[in-house]
Chain A
Amino acid sequence: MKSLLKNRLTWPLVALLALLALNQVFRADFLALRMQDGHLYGSLIDILRNGAPTVLIALGMTLVVATRGIDLSVGAIVAIAGAISCSYIASSSDPSSLATAGTAAAIAVVAGLALGVWNGFLVSVIGVQPIIATLVLMTAGRGVAQLVTGGQIVSVSNDHYKSIGAGYAFTLPISILITAAVFVLAAVLTRRTALGTLIEAVGINPVASRLAGIRARNIIWIVYVFSALCAAIAGLMISSNVTAADANNAGLYIEMDAILAVVIGGTSLAGGRYSLVGTVIGAFIIQTLTTTVYTLGIPPEVTLVFKALVVLSVCLLQAPAARNALRRFRPAPKLPAKEKVAI
């Protein structure tokens, strides 16, 4: 029981369950799942499907934050990826074929990788502060996306492309399957190899880890590439879900949601400790929060205020000052007497 209370995943999970329970109280059929045309339907599935892009981006952001960095450019990368793939499909000779959709997705993902290499280069080789390095792409990226689409909203009609964001496979939405695959890949790569430990080492102390023989530069570079890759795939999902690329509004503020998810999930913004599972829970808390606003009949325009208050309270609870204050109310751990010698 004690270890359960101490586990840093407990509180985010409790928050998520409480939110779901709240919804269930207000709408009796909230948790109900039903089969229709061989697909699962229900509010839970909606949360999974709508939350998939945020989860995906938050996964990439987690590793970036673990190295003491931050990636503000993900929203712009979402817009660029959507713009590139939709423009390619719209201008191709066979806009409804599988090959076109595949090529479009591949080009967008490669573009995303290139943008990640660019961010990583600025941060790891040039040594620019992450917040500023990615700010460059955040500012210029939406301009680039508009350049690609020519300032228009490019709509496409390609059933194969549409299935990335809106399709189903094995009764589940494809978008959530893709996200799950990326999660498993990231989890295996970072927790079953030394990569995770190296990332934590770089996040805790880049200089010490470099002196210990870790190629900190490459580690940092890799996490930015991974973050951009996740953002590009999320961009495909978002644009395919609405079968259009909107350079201005696709992925707007998604970097904020992703950072929130990471923070709520218990990853420290000071670098080092990180939790991929926590991030997934955090992202679903945010998505459920949005759903809750609708379920409770709160006017949607209040969502942002609601979100701001949640973020602030979570951050305050995680702040060292608040933790120390809380600790005072807990029974002090029994220390051997000699440890009380003056420091």
Chain B
Amino acid sequence: MSPLSTLTPPLKKSSAIGYGRLRGGARYAPTLATLGLFLAMFAVGAGMYPSFLSGQVLLNLFIDNTFLTVLAVGMTFVILTGGIDLSVGAVVALSMMVCASLLQAGWNPSMVIPLVILIGGGLGTLMGLVIQYFDIQPFIVTLAGMFLARGLCYVISLDSIPVTDPFFTSMAQARIPLAGDLFISPGVLIAVAVVAVAFFILHHTRFGRTVYALGGNEHSAMLMGLNVKGTKVAVYAVSGLCSAVAGLLFSFYSLSGYSLAAQGMELDAIAAVVIGGTLLTGGTGYVLGSVVGVLVLGIVQTFIAYDGTLSSWWTKIVIGGLLLVFILLQRLFSRKTY
């Protein structure tokens, strides 16, 4: 029998879980790696296609992914606590369906938009309450939420409903000019506002610190007297709210409601968060990282659109591959014995 000291080697700093214990800038490493990847991809694109190197291509990444950005922000909150929300894609579709059907029935957008946001937030809160008070895995609860939301879409209508409301069409067509002949859509402003609010909440409020603490170690957070229960419910409410806002943005973008819309978008959102450097075990990550993750996914799509010969399914394969690389990187940064 070997002496006890060899069985339990002294804890080194690098053996701690999470990047948080890493010194200095090392904890920004995964997010910076993502940013580097994005810049490299942009540079390669610029080298291959002369028209790639333009400000508008960059801005289009934002314009085409406003809803995914907002979804990824909500998902970041959930994943930071160590949870997961599989319902986001279905809630986006439900928001679009509610929007389209009520507008078709002649409702005023000023009524519809708050109602949609209320439904999304309500669904999220409900799932959070079940997760917290019945102690069921987030995975299963949000899966049931996904079935419920998608099922409600089918109940509303199986067909695609066009949106002809003047406010929605003006939001879809409006272009906000920037310097030169560059422009963005109003949706981008909303998405940027959501990101800014999320950034402020996560890094400068008590709630944000509790989210990180909860993901670091739920038990310690509870012993520290933090409001663990309320925070856990709140992150799912935030995710539900973000899904509803993303649904509205998707409505502005596509001007329709379709019950099969946004299928698999929860995977894109999770992928964006992971690629952006947030640890799936919770406790470490940045909302801005998730935004960069969305941009990386967006540039993959742009690449495939520019190439022309590659088929659309390469998007899925490349995203899967990127996800793999970043998961392996995460393992490298956070050694945890199994």
Give chain A's interface residues, CB within 8 Å of chain B.
Answer: 70, 122, 124, 126-129, 131-133, 135-144, 146-147, 151, 206-207, 216-217, 247, 256, 259, 263, 269, 299, 301-309, 311-312, 315-316, 319-322
Contacts and interface: CB of A to CB of B under 8 A. Distances in A.
B221 interface: no
A301 B136 contact: no
Q: Which residue, of A126, A138, A143, A307, has the highest number of chain B Cβ atoms within 10 A?
A: A143
Interface residues of B, number: 45
Interface string B264-280: 00010011001000001
A137 B148 CA distance: 25
- Scoring A132, A142, A147, A311 by chain B CB atoms within 10 A of each residue's CB, the highest score goes to A132
A200 B144 CA distance: 27
Contact of A308 (B151, B270, B311): B151
Interface string B302-327: 00000000011111110111011001
A124 B143 CA distance: 25
Nearest to B335: A127
A308 B316 contact: no
A302 B315 contact: no
B289 interface: no
Given A70-B139, A147-B317, A151-B311, A136 B148 contact: no
Query: Interface SS of chain B: helix, strand, loop or mixed?
Result: helix
Contacts of B312: 151
Contacts of A146: 311, 313, 316
A126 B331 contact: yes
Interface stretch (B37-45, B68-76, B127-135, B176-184): B127-135
B148 to A, nearest CB: 4
B311 A129 contact: no
Contacts of A319: 134-136
Interface string B119-141: 00000000000100111110111
Contact of A305 (B148, B270, B314): B148
Given A126-B328, A315-B134, A206 B338 contact: yes
A308 B140 contact: no
A129 B134 contact: no
B267 A305 contact: no
Contacts of B133: 321
| 7 A-B pairs closest in CB distance | A140-B320, A304-B151, A143-B316, A305-B151, A301-B154, A308-B147, A146-B313
A303 B140 contact: no
Contacts of A135: 267, 270, 323
B336 interface: yes
Contacts of A306: 151
A217 B151 CA distance: 39
Given A128-B331, A259-B143, A138 B267 contact: yes
A147 B140 contact: no
A107 B226 CA distance: 55
11 contacts: A128-B327, A128-B328, A140-B323, A302-B151, A302-B155, A303-B151, A307-B151, A308-B144, A308-B151, A315-B144, A319-B134
A223 B152 CA distance: 36
A136 B145 contact: no
A144 B320 CA distance: 10
